[in-house]
Amino acid sequence: MTTPPPNAAAFSCPLPLSTRAEIQIAHGGGGRLTQELIDTIFAPAFRNAALDARHDGAALVLGAGTGKLAFTTDSHVVSPLFFPGGDIGKLAVCGTVNDLAMCGARPRWLSAGFILEEGLPVETLRRVVASMAEAARAAGVEIVTGDTKVVERGKGDGLYVNTAGVGVIERDVAIAPASVRPGDIVLLSGDIGRHGMAILAQREGLAFESPIESDCACLWPAVEALLACGASVHCLRDLTRGGLATATIEIAEAAQVELALDEGAVEVTEPVRGACEILGMDPFYVANEGRFIAIVPEADAEGALAAISSHAHGGPARKIGIVREAKRPRVTLRSVVGVERILDRLSGEQLPRIC
């Protein structure tokens, strides 16, 4: 019998939600507690086929012969509102555009719902709105409808913004965890960990020799190139809250497979690696806002890599792992010295309010 790592049980087996009385910060972290909230409260109440697919957005069928739409939403509560490489406005547009892209949908229209705190400088709102407009233009989407509410001082935090998005699924694709097959290759579009560490460095007032900029970017051009290259795309996922580890765990569980990743193939820049070491963070769990994984058949992997790399940010895309049959779904990570470990969902909150 081996000794379990200290506190492993405490972290990996939190109380079920039914025995918790109050919402905790970690319920918004994208990890185990967020999943529990979805499983025990939202999914049973709202049950329908689109929601049950558990993707970044819903695929909607208008009627016979009319094609499919994608529909998604994200609220943004990032703190601070402005950070190296972006701000809450750019983040809100890119985040929703990226969720549509992950459905294989061309992003077309966004809504914008603002919750403003009394006393917010009008100039701050103006800067955020200008940033949203610029990001929308760059992504080729229109912000076509909106809403503004104002809450009293101390009932908000400057500015929260919700963006919902509608996109058009133009090709006959089945991009979903259920399409993932053993033998498929896992591709990653660039380096990881920048967004979360940029926010954290800004928030903590840390100064590094090379400042870390968020990777916040619109992923549709890379996805459009990928779809156009003829590769059969089985699954796409952007690596937001919970990072690469959480995204791959969600896919492994939904597809009932093992994703075997190769740590040495995953690029983490030196500034991000250094900041993670100082702050005790694991870059595999740090949020990104402009990176995604694509899972494709082995025969299509080289073409897919070239297509993604033609529009990728943060370096060429890389093969980072393969899909294996598995009795129990899991994600394994082989280190550079050949040791294999299992990646598990975070139960707590690593970085609150990073998006």
139 to 158, contacts with a copy of itself by CB under 8 A? 142-152, 154-157
Pick the binder of a copy of itself from 21, 207, 337, 339 (CB under 8 A). Answer: 21
Pick the binder of a copy of itself from 11, 109, 181, 297 (CB under 8 A). Answer: 109
Count residues near a copy of itself (CB under 8 A).
80
How do 106-117 and 142-151 pair as beta strands?
parallel
Work out how close the CB of 268 gets to a copy of itself at its nearest, in angstroms, rounded to a whole number. Answer: 26
- Identity at 181, one-letter amino acid code: R
Instruction: Tokens for 168, please give them.
Output: 């058009």
Q: How many residues does the chain have?
A: 355
Q: Cα–Cα distance between 237 and 103 in angstroms, integer?
A: 9
Q: Cα–Cα distance between 92 and 136 in angstroms, integer?
A: 10
91 binds a copy of itself (CB under 8 A): no
Cα 338-266-136 angle, rounded to 5 deg: 165
How do 257-262 and 330-334 pair as beta strands?
parallel
Pick the binder of a copy of itself from 3, 10, 15, 22 (CB under 8 A). Answer: 22
Pick the binder of a copy of itself from 112, 217, 272, 293 (CB under 8 A). Answer: 112
199 binds a copy of itself (CB under 8 A): no
Between residue 54 and residue 83, which ones bind a copy of itself under the rule CB under 8 A? 57-58, 60, 62, 66-67, 69, 71-77
Q: Cα–Cα distance between 83 and 92 in angstroms, integer?
A: 14
Work out how close the CB of 65 gets to a copy of itself at its nearest, in angstroms, rounded to a whole number. Answer: 9
Task: Choose the binding region for a copy of itself from 110-118, 184-192, 249-257, 278-286 (rule: CB under 8 A).
Answer: 110-118
Cis peptide before 80 (omega within 30 of 0): yes
Between residue 333 and residue 352, which ones bind a copy of itself under the rule CB under 8 A? 352
Specify the 3-state DSSP secondary structure of 149. strand
Q: Cα–Cα distance between 327 and 321 in angstroms, integer?
A: 18
Burial of residue 84 (CB within 10 Å: 0-12, 13-18, 19+) is middle
Tokens 């200008």 sit on residue = 130
Task: Choose the binding region for a copy of itself from 49-57, 190-198, 227-235, 259-267 (rule: CB under 8 A).
Answer: 49-57
Pick the binder of a copy of itself from 92, 125, 176, 308 (CB under 8 A). Answer: 125
Nearer to a copy of itself, 153 or 328 (CB): 153
15 binds a copy of itself (CB under 8 A): no
Task: Choose the binding region for a copy of itself from 46-54, 184-192, 272-280, 283-291 (rule: CB under 8 A).
Answer: 46-54
Task: Choose the binding region for a copy of itself from 20-28, 203-211, 267-275, 281-289 (rule: CB under 8 A).
Answer: 20-28
Contact 185, 131 (CB under 8 A): no
